[in-house]
């Protein structure tokens, strides 16, 4: 079966974003780079939050001549101090934030957990803990910007398999006692962000800020390379071989763009958006994305979502907001 090209609708793709300010994490590569390119094309100003600033600057040279603008600010999501520094710099320069796109992510493919200096396993740190701190520190500016959007990148992997649904292991969030499983660590991290987008939607109801989690598709990006040159070279070989079942980075950015810009996405705050996935072949592929019901029952458990958020406040060194 030929894959349908992923796209946002014309009205969304032609909205003038002049004057609007966005943050895209992991903006130097893959889905984040193409999300950034489209926002800049439509006149937006994008703050590219990158752990490798030089890579962000290099990639952004291709935005020359586009209507909008960009800047690159260092942000390593696996380092809470770096996240705090990023927020300090951002707030010193900007007084509005129309969209926060928590796009960055990675998977630790080694045979053992890697712990950050704050004790988090790095897969969950990059996708969830770092983005949690970033988001909570930017909530005020999001609330003060009319109709602002919050998007966080999940993955279809959050669902696990029908026989083995991923769940949040509150007794060992940081993989200190369990047998290491890279696939499960990524699945749990991506489940955590689905739950966080839902919890935020509940907490932010009535503030004008809407939220979404996104599965981008199977992107022919640098995913899995961890910034490593050899892995990137290997990905360059694998990418063409999987072309028939995967999506370009531009296509994979479309669902994030739908959630960041379209009028419709605001009607589904907290929802999980995906246009298609290798694991959902029976679903109709609708251009523009639509909220999809996660097949993982744990992704709908608001008690788990609230408990996770409560615990995370403490873990990232924030006082809970009640
Ligand atoms: N590719 C897929 O098929 C697929 C499927 C489902 C979900 N996703 C999700 O989509 C998002 C984008 O991934 P992609 O496919 O575009 O992969 P990618 O090309 O590898 O881009 C990932 C980005 O995240 C950044 N990143 C990783 N760890 C970071 C950290 N500690 N701090 C700051 N930035 C960090 C990377 O920076 P460096 O360049 O420095 O490594 C890179 O910019 C990820 O959240 C991923 O989990 C991807």
Query: Chain-centre distance of CA 43, in angstroms?
Result: 22
Hey, where are the domains in the chain?
10-238+251-315
Annotate 75-117 with DSSP letters as a single string. --TT-HHHHHHHHHHHHHH-S--SEEEE-------SSS--B-T
Q: Whose CA is nearest to atom 1 of ligand 1?
A: 219
Torsion, Cα of 280, 261, 137, 166 (10° steps): 0
pLDDT at 226: 66
Looking from the CA of 285 toward its CB, the CA atoms found within 13 Å total 19
For residue range 196-206, list pLDDT tens digits in order.
999 999 999 99
For residue range 53-110, list pLDDT tens digits in order.
999 999 999 999 999 999 999 999 999 999 999 999 999 999 999 999 999 999 998 8
CB of 227 closer than 6 A to ligand 1?
A: yes
Cα separation values, 257 from 3, 9, 12, 305, Å: 20, 10, 8, 25
Residue among 128, 186, 196, 272 flagged as catalytic? 186
CB of 104 closer than 6 A to ligand 1?
A: yes
Environment class of residue 17 by beta-carbon count within 10 Å: exposed (0-12), middle (13-18) or buried (19+)?
buried
CB of 152 closer than 6 A to ligand 1?
A: no
Tell which residue, 58, 9, 44, has the closest CA to residue 259: 9
- Is the predicted pLDDT of residue 117 greater than 70, yes or no? yes
Establish whether 186 is a catalytic residue: yes
Query: For the domain 10-238+251-315, what is the CATH superfamily, name and number?
Result: NAD(P)-binding Rossmann-like Domain (3.40.50.720)
CA of 322 to the centre of ligand 1 (A): 32
pTM: 0.94
pLDDT at 247: 85
140 contact partners, CB below 8 Å, separation of at least 6 = none
SS3 of residue 47 by DSSP: strand
pLDDT at 279: 57
CB of 34 closer than 6 A to ligand 1?
A: no
């Amino acid at each position: 079966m030929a894959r349908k090209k992923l796209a946002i609708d014309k009205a969304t793709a032609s909205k003038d974003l002049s004057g609007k300010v966005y943050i895209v994490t992991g903006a130097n590569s893959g889905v984040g780079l193409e999300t950034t390119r489209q926002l800049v094309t439509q006149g937006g100003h994008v703050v590219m939050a990158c752990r490798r600033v030089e890579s962000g600057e290099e990639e952004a040279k291709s935005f020359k001549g586009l209507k909008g603008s960009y800047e690159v600010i260092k942000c390593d999501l696996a380092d809470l101090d770096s996240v705090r520094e990023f927020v300090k710099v951002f707030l010193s320069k900007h007084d509005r934030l129309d969209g926060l796109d928590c796009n960055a992510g990675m998977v630790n493919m080694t045979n053992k957990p890697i712990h950050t200096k704050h004790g988090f396993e790095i897969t969950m740190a990059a996708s969830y803990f770092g983005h949690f701190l970033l988001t909570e520190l930017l909530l005020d500016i999001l609330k003060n910007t009319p109709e602002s959007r919050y998007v966080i990148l999940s993955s279809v992997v959050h669902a696990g398999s029908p026989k083995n649904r991923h769940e949040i292991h509150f007794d060992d969030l940081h993989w200190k006692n369990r047998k290491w499983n890279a696939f499960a660590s990524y699945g749990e991290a991506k489940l955590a962000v689905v739950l966080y987008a839902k919890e935020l939607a509940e907490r932010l109801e009535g503030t004008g800020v809407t939220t979404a989690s996104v599965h981008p598709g199977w992107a022919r990006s640098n995913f899995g390379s961890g910034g490593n040159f050899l892995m990137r070279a290997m990905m360059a070989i694998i990418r063409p071989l999987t072309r028939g079942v995967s999506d370009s980075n531009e296509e994979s950015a479309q669902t994030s763009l739908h959630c960041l810009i379209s009028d419709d996405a605001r009607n589904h705050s907290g929802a999980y958006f995906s246009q298609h996935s290798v694991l959902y072949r029976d679903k109709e592929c609708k251009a523009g994305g639509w909220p999809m019901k996660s097949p993982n029952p744990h992704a709908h458990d608001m008690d788990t979502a609230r408990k996770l958020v409560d615990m995370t406040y403490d873990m990232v060194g924030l006082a809970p907001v009640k």
